[in-house]
Amino acid sequence: MFIPVDIKFTSPKGQSFKTVFSMTYKIANYLTNVNLAESISTNLVEIELALKNNPGQFTNLVLFDQARGSTDAAAFPSGWNGVSSYYQAGFSQDIWRETGIAIAQPSLLPETLLPELWDDARQFPGNYADDLEDFLRLTGSTSSQESIPPDYNLGITTVFNLLSEMQTGSPLTVDYLLDQANTANFFNQNPHALFLSNHGGSFLLGGNGDGPAYDLDEIKRNLQVTELEQVLQQAIIDYSPDQNRFGLLAYDECLMANIETATELRGVTRYLLASQETIPGLGYDYFLTLSDFKTNTPLSSQTEIEQDSRALGEAFVSTYSGRNGASHTLSLTDTDGITLLNQAIKSYADAFLESDDSLLVDLLKALRVKGTNYTYKFLQDLGNLALISQALPGASSALIEASQAILAALDTTIVANNQDYRPWAQSFRFAASSGLTITLPTELTQVVVGGEYLPELFIQQAPQFEDQTGWSRVLARVAPLLQRVQTNSGFEPAQVERKNGSVIESQGGTARFAVQINGYLGSISNDAAINNDIYNLPELANAILADLNLSLDILNLREAGSVTIAIRSADGLVKATWSQAVTKPGLLTFSTDDLNAEVAAQPISEGDQVVITPIGNISAAYDFNLQIADQKLQGYNSEKPLDYPTLLNTSLIDDGRKELFFTTPPLLPEPDGGESSFCTNLVLLSGSEGYAGLTLFEVDGTSLLTLESADFIDEQVRLKPNTEYSVTLSYRDFDPQPSDLSSDLSFLFDYFAAPTQILNDSLLRENIFLSNWGQISVNPGLSGTATIVETVSSKRITALDDLREGDAIDALYVARSVDIDTTLQAGTGGGTQTYASGLWTASNDVTLNVFVEGIGANNAQLGFYQVDALTGAISTDSGLIMPSATENYLAATRDSLVSPLIALNEFNKEGVVEVNLMAGQHYAAVLITEDQNGSQTALYSLTAGNPNASIQFLDFGRGYYGFEDLVQGRDSGWDGDFNDVTFYLT
């Protein structure tokens, strides 16, 4: 607690501050130092420099909390004489541990050096503030003993009146600041602008956090937006009856540009300056902005105050990217536009609630993978939300109209945006920010914030926005849908963090990156720009386009089309482009050899992107890989547990190991009371020959799974929610002797990738819980015995191109007899291992298009039929017909077809079979072949139905299957390539 006192400020020369210029713009800065001490102190030096460079245009009242003042990085003295060191008593004030308040004074920098510094700042806006911070550290730290050139008088000039410790997360301290602003020694009225500086956490968590971690306060506290609004409202009533609100309120804090924040504050400020994303340590550019600022009015009326406030806000936006880069955001919001914008948002909420669950799930999925993502992922860009909503297939006219109304209102409400992104005029731009965010979770991790249920917390922290829009209804509707949103059917993109190790030059070497694993190429929107997949290239030294080799591995093709891949710069300039038709699964390469010499010689620059654009109605799953010549991938260092699905590219030396920690988020309880869990993809790919392995266990050690492979690892594991797991990656050479060999490793940990299976094996049940992973049991409904086929391959077989015509398949396969007491155990040696009965069960009633390809001389017909028992038996008027190589079983099969037999008479076979399936029933496949002599043979996915119970059908994994059309030991020319007819059941 603090006791406000009346104080009188004096300059270092003893001059009191009584003169107030009628055309002087009055700014108050509320600086909570905490762990941003050096950066905020640098901001204060910048203000002092601007006061010297631009006299008479503005004044600055500063409340400056010194954050304990006990270390070099936490506090600085002030009143430096420009010559002596701290220990020579050159400073007017010692280090102080509490809070101080003062009117900022011009810098002591000599007039002769100011133009030089000013030119340097304008030419190198991204660097000069770091130089200021370095000089400040040397001339103003608690323990500096460096020899500093006296010309660089960059210690803090302003002398502070010292107060007792204030809790700067409290609205009482803001009230104190504004009370002092009303004294004759200060502004004699409320300031025209108030700047808050520290850490922000959106309207939900507030800003100016101050507490025991960094300060003397017993309890950490954040200044809530609702509290700030109340204290500002009261200050206006008490001190400025002729001023109905501030001109500008600026958050030099992270994540505060929310529609909720703007709504709460619209009654106390005309303009709001804030960022949608995190703000880098040095924050706003005070020197460049304030040095150029000119007041254009007498500031004698509310209109004039707001006019100059707008100009100041626009000036800060214009200088922001120079220091912080365009990927960080800053926008100026005109709160006079909030009423119209919130009317549109209420209409949107009404239409949202009227939409069916399936459409909302599609919308949330599209938003999750295509919308702009912020550090707090419950914040969605308002412009992105409207653009994606209006372009969503199946969106109602009410939802489309409300989205368009949001875009129109947003266009007038956002005055300036450093990214220059206006979605109403420019349509969708990937990862861009429109100026304001809105609360809308797209993942279960976002439903609980700070230990509180989001819809309830929202009502507390955004009461005015809730009153105007009823947005909590949307949050409550969304929460139970998020389990479905996070379920990946295999045909929407997986949203994962991509973390790459550093890349260094290495002549003759090749750095390999998995840019995307299990991606999806297709349309999730009627807007082509939204459908793009965009990936940032890693930072590369001295690389050109000719060094790149891109490959797109089409794993599963639902519908053919085309794809375009482009390399473009951060500002949207296309450097190179390729297009290819996609007519079948397989590997597509996009070679820089196809580029002319001038194009291929272009350098790869920071911020360059790969843009993958689907053309037509293409629908395909894919992996995307990148190889870079004359580069080497270094190891990746993880400093904290990863709490988000992650694709990691790193490098390990021979016998090297890397331990990572992952934390799964909480899940909503299952409706039936069962245990909630995540189904997780574990994919590990190695860039060199050798054994790559991973070990996964709960941190408490209760569950353990170790996988190692000379080929690849691609497995699913079911994990507990809200649990920490440890993953150890390893690599070792085939040769047991120590070597200098190393390998690039790509590892995907995607615990939101639970697949929605359209078809499941009718007979076999695989357990993927970590504690008993890989145990396979038999459906207890089986009567007697049945035959299954085990297939093991060290090669990824995902498409027809992976099978060589005339060569036996690169896999081992064997028939096994099972009954209800049989338990099998999957291996942990990597590669692909499948157990298949040849029978499938549909999860729901569905019409499935089965895409068929093959290579073979024999004519064939393919179809699917229903069986009545897990043995494959079919009920007929004559009784139950068991599977066998007889005409009776073939006749029963023909009578039970659920699809027409498709004729495949060309050598290169291709077609689509439409299959009608009912939930809970069992289905098999039949291939009727005809040799050159016209003799027909029926072959089945069920081994028991084939001649001599031979294996004619294999499961390659991931829903891909293949028939061999000749029978071993009976037909001449048998080659065992299993590529005669292949198809996908996905």
* pLDDT given for residue 800 in this prediction: 87
How many angstroms separate the CA atoms of 431 and 381, rounded?
Answer: 9
Neighbouring-strand partners of residue 578: 565
Residue range 400-420, pLDDT digits in tens: 999 999 999 999 999 999 999
Q: Taking 60 as the threshold, does the pLDDT of residue 1 lie above it?
A: no
Q: Please, what is the Cα angle at 209 between 204 and 215, to 5 degrees? A: 160
Residue range 766-783, pLDDT digits in tens: 998 888 899 999 999 999
* Contact in structure between 629 and 580 (CB atoms under 8 Å): no
Q: Taking 60 as the threshold, does the pLDDT of residue 314 lie above it?
A: yes
Q: Taking 80 as the threshold, does the pLDDT of residue 628 lie above it?
A: yes
CA 566 and chain centroid, separation: 21
Instruction: Give the type of residue at 407.
Output: L
Q: Taking 90 as the threshold, does the pLDDT of residue 13 lie above it?
A: no
Q: Taking 90 as the threshold, does the pLDDT of residue 110 lie above it?
A: no
Q: What percent of the chain lies above the pLDDT cut of 90? A: 58
Confidence of residue 491 (pLDDT cuts 50, 70, 90): low
* pLDDT given for residue 17 in this prediction: 36
Mean pLDDT computed over 375-390: 94
More reliable by pLDDT, 964 or 676 = 964
Q: Taking 80 as the threshold, does the pLDDT of residue 711 lie above it?
A: yes
Question: Tokens 């991790």 — which residue?
Answer: 445
How many angstroms separate the CA atoms of 743 and 512, rounded?
Answer: 9
* pLDDT given for residue 140 in this prediction: 67
Mean pLDDT computed over 102-106: 95
How many angstroms separate the CA atoms of 892 and 289, rounded?
Answer: 84
* pLDDT given for residue 10 in this prediction: 37
How many angstroms separate the CA atoms of 841 and 757, rounded?
Answer: 10
Bridge-based pairing of strands 874-876 and 960-963 is: unpaired
Residue range 524-577, pLDDT digits in tens: 899 988 999 998 888 888 899 999 999 999 887 778 899 999 999 987 899 999
* pLDDT given for residue 369 in this prediction: 85
Instruction: Give the type of residue at 311.
Output: A
Mean pLDDT computed over 79-93: 72
More reliable by pLDDT, 971 or 143 = 971
- DSSP letters along 337-349, please? GHHHHHHHHHHHH
How many angstroms separate the CA atoms of 906 and 855, rounded?
Answer: 8
C-alpha to C-alpha distances, 645 to 106, 370, 750, nearest whole angstrom: 50, 16, 4
How many angstroms separate the CA atoms of 153 and 860, rounded?
Answer: 89
Confidence of residue 18 (pLDDT cuts 50, 70, 90): very low
* pLDDT given for residue 20 in this prediction: 39
Confidence of residue 11 (pLDDT cuts 50, 70, 90): very low
Q: Taking 60 as the threshold, does the pLDDT of residue 634 lie above it?
A: yes
Q: Taking 90 as the threshold, does the pLDDT of residue 851 lie above it?
A: no
CA 485 and chain centroid, separation: 15
* pLDDT given for residue 753 in this prediction: 56
The structure's pTM equals 0.84
Mean pLDDT computed over 613-642: 87
Q: Taking 60 as the threshold, does the pLDDT of residue 9 lie above it?
A: no
Neighbouring-strand partners of residue 417: 331
More reliable by pLDDT, 366 or 496 = 366
Cβ-in-10-Å burial (0-12, 13-18, 19+) of 454 comes to buried
Q: Tell which residue, 526, 536, 617, 544, has the closest CA to residue 569.
A: 536
Residue range 337-351, pLDDT digits in tens: 999 999 999 999 999
For the chain, the maximum distance between any two Cα atoms, rounded to a whole number of angstroms, is: 114
* pLDDT given for residue 958 in this prediction: 81
Q: CB-based contacts of 103: which residues, under 8 Å, 6+ apart?
A: 9, 17, 59, 60, 61, 62, 158, 185, 186
Q: Supply 946's token pair.
A: 């084939």
> In the 3-class helix/strand/coil scheme, how is 398-423 assigned residue by residue?
HHHHHHHHHHHHHHHHEEEECCCCCH
Bridge-based pairing of strands 574-582 and 619-633 is: unpaired
**Dihedral angle sign, alpha carbons of residues 841, 842, 843, 848:** positive
Confidence of residue 488 (pLDDT cuts 50, 70, 90): low
Residue range 202-216, pLDDT digits in tens: 999 999 988 777 777
* pLDDT given for residue 821 in this prediction: 95
Q: Taking 80 as the threshold, does the pLDDT of residue 332 lie above it?
A: yes
Residue range 23-73, pLDDT digits in tens: 899 999 999 877 788 888 899 999 999 999 999 999 999 999 887 655 656
* pLDDT given for residue 489 in this prediction: 63
Residue range 146-194, pLDDT digits in tens: 555 556 667 888 999 999 888 889 999 999 999 999 888 888 888 999 9
Residue range 432-450, pLDDT digits in tens: 999 999 999 998 778 877 7
Mean pLDDT computed over every residue of the chain: 88
Residue range 111-135, pLDDT digits in tens: 888 998 999 999 999 999 988 888 7
* pLDDT given for residue 142 in this prediction: 56
Q: Supply 544's token pair.
A: 């050109």
Q: What percent of the chain lies above the pLDDT cut of 70? A: 92
How many angstroms separate the CA atoms of 864 and 803, rounded?
Answer: 23
* pLDDT given for residue 670 in this prediction: 66
Question: Tokens 């992270």 — which residue?
Answer: 254
Q: Taking 80 as the threshold, does the pLDDT of residue 852 lie above it?
A: yes
Instruction: Give the type of residue at 612.
Output: I
Q: Tell which residue, 206, 215, 200, has the closest CA to residue 283.
A: 200
* pLDDT given for residue 252 in this prediction: 96
Residue range 793-814, pLDDT digits in tens: 988 888 888 898 989 999 999 9
Confidence of residue 850 (pLDDT cuts 50, 70, 90): confident
Q: Taking 70 as the threshold, does the pLDDT of residue 4 lie above it?
A: no
Mean pLDDT computed over 590-602: 89
Neighbouring-strand partners of residue 625: 514, 551
Q: Taking 80 as the threshold, does the pLDDT of residue 756 lie above it?
A: no
More reliable by pLDDT, 505 or 666 = 505
